[in-house]
Structure 1
Amino acid sequence: MAQGLFATTASELASYGAGLETLLIVSLSTEGALAAWWTVDGWALLREMGSGLDLRGANLSGGLLTGADFSGSDLSEADLSRAELTKSDFTGAKLVGANFSGATLTSATLMNAELTEANLSRCDLRHSDMRGTCCTRTAFRGADLWNAYIWNTNLDESFTDGVDISRADDLSGAVKRKTA
């Protein structure tokens, strides 16, 4: 990030083309002088404290976020492409328009998440828990749903080209699917 630029939200940080790999946290005194500063591994911070955060528009592309807790967070329009999200928790998260293309979500929890218009193309969703997830106009093209739990999930408005839905566990065909 260029000198003199200041961001207080993930969305502002992303607007500068910066991600959360390394964060510089600065504390200023009441007079505006530098009081203290820390360099933080942004991935480690998010793995531990990601629950309930406003991460709209954040650039988390390629992030090493195995086991991260994003439950209840707002990651609308965030870029999580190619991110390592194995065993991460997105329970109740708002993921509207988020880009997960090529991400690894093996054994992740997406229960009751809002995935409207999200891109999960070429995602590894094996063993993920997607029960009750809203998938309106969600792109799953080429995703691997082997043994993913998709109970009470409506995929009839989703884009599932190149996806073998029969590999998912849908409680004996209870999932609505788009027909040709």
Structure 2
Amino acid sequence: MKSFLLKSVLVLVLISFTSCSSDDDTTDNSAEVNQVVGEWQMYRTENLEAVIDQWTGTEWTYVDQWFKNVWEDSEILITFNNDGTFTEFYATVETANGTWEKLEDGRYSYNYILEVDNTNEVLVGTRLITVHCDNTFSVITEGDDRNVAYYRTRNTTECSDLITYNLE
């Protein structure tokens, strides 16, 4: 009887260890949560522009100045899909599409798919996304720190207190 109880306890312990390791493996292999998947609405842009400063008597001098545009109900939308693709819209009209990926530094990047006969320079270049919170991110074009676009998930309020804007 002692032998039977000992073997039963041993079998139960082995089953519980097997169950735990199986659960742990499932957690380790679960799909990564990508913070950009979903529908996003542009709510703000900031642009650094060279503006006329003063006349020197022979020429105008220029200084850089930040400008901002803010929209409450923007129709500029972007949808990131789980399969690594995205689509941009103006209202319900598709305006562009491409692919995105998560970078090693935790940011995301995306690139437009350009047709050979359509080489719109505005769509050239890798866009870099910095996530500020669960519903807000900013976008710059790689190598261009003079233009920033801000997006939030639709029908939410952005987390402005976590963002350092160039212009308040």
Alignment TM-score, normalising by the size of structure 2: 0.21
Larger radius of gyration: 2
More helix by share: 2
Alignment TM-score, normalising by the size of structure 1: 0.20
